[in-house]
Chains A and B, each alone.
Chain A
Amino acid sequence: DAGVTQSPTHLIKTRGQQVTLRCSPKSGHDTVSWYQQALGQGPQFIFQYYEEEERQRGNFPDRFSGHQFPNYSSELNVNALLLGDSALYLCASSLEEGSSYNEQFFGPGTRLTVL
């Protein structure tokens, strides 16, 4: 049973560029959340997708957008990259049923470096 997968593993971009990160949820999961984890800090919630809609959003600007596909996979897009966007981006999946108390399963993350 495949867990949560993310691609790419690492990415280097320059300021002002755009980036797309991809996530495939754990088999049977229908809800995907995205987090940003800066070095030495805990993850920060970006948003959560369910039924192809953004269900809740954290305190991130509109430069951060996402999408969920019918097969439950998801993309995170970041436009107009800033140096401060350099971080580990984590994708997590879970089951909608009992979503408030179901644990999330995390992928290994995508390390984004903005130069």
Chain B
Amino acid sequence: AQSVAQPEDQVNVAEGNPLTVKCTYSVSGNPYLFWYVQYPNRGLQFLLKYITGDNLVKGSYGFEAEFNKSQTSFHLKKPSALVSDSALYFCAVRDGDSNYQLIWGAGTKLIIKP
């Protein structure tokens, strides 16, 4: 069965420091991986995705994520955090080409302190 785990409910980072939000997944086929961000009272916004190719993918707002097949992980990273990055972050996975269902993690609240 497909599943996504975000092991940290909350991550606290000082402004200017690097940040990492963790995600691990379990699928039977090829994983298509996505990161979304949710701001209060706003819809989910797409950040980046991994489909195939280079394991390091770059996305919006300076975020990047590294796909690690052996560890079945897709951690979200940013070299220098901004206070405006504070939000709820979701990792999601789709299992292969013929499966349209996105499976989501429970979310990680990211708090950037000035």
Which A residues are within 8 Å of any B CB, using their own CB?
4, 33, 40-45, 48, 55-56, 58, 90, 92, 99-101, 103-109
Contacts and interface: CB of A to CB of B under 8 A. Distances in A.
B98 A108 contact: no
Interface residues of B, number: 27
Nearest to B9: A40
13 contacts: A42-B105, A43-B44, A45-B103, A48-B100, A55-B100, A56-B100, A56-B101, A58-B101, A90-B44, A92-B44, A105-B46, A106-B44, A108-B43
A104 B90 CA distance: 13
A38 B99 CA distance: 23
B100 A104 contact: no
Nearest to A44: B104
A92 B90 CA distance: 15
Contact of B104 (A4, A42, A99, A103): A42
B87 interface: no
B22 interface: no
B34 A103 contact: yes
Contact of B102 (A4, A45, A108): A45
Contact of B101 (A40, A48, A101, A107): A48
A58 B45 CA distance: 22
A45 B51 CA distance: 20
Chain B CB within 10 Å — which of A4, A41, A45 has the most? Answer: A45
Contacts of A103: 34, 46, 49
Interface in B86-101: 90, 92, 94, 96-101
Nearest to B48: A103
A100 B44 contact: no
A8 B35 CA distance: 27
Nearest to B105: A42
Contact of B94 (A4, A90, A100, A105): A100
Contacts of A55: 100
Nearest to A31: B100
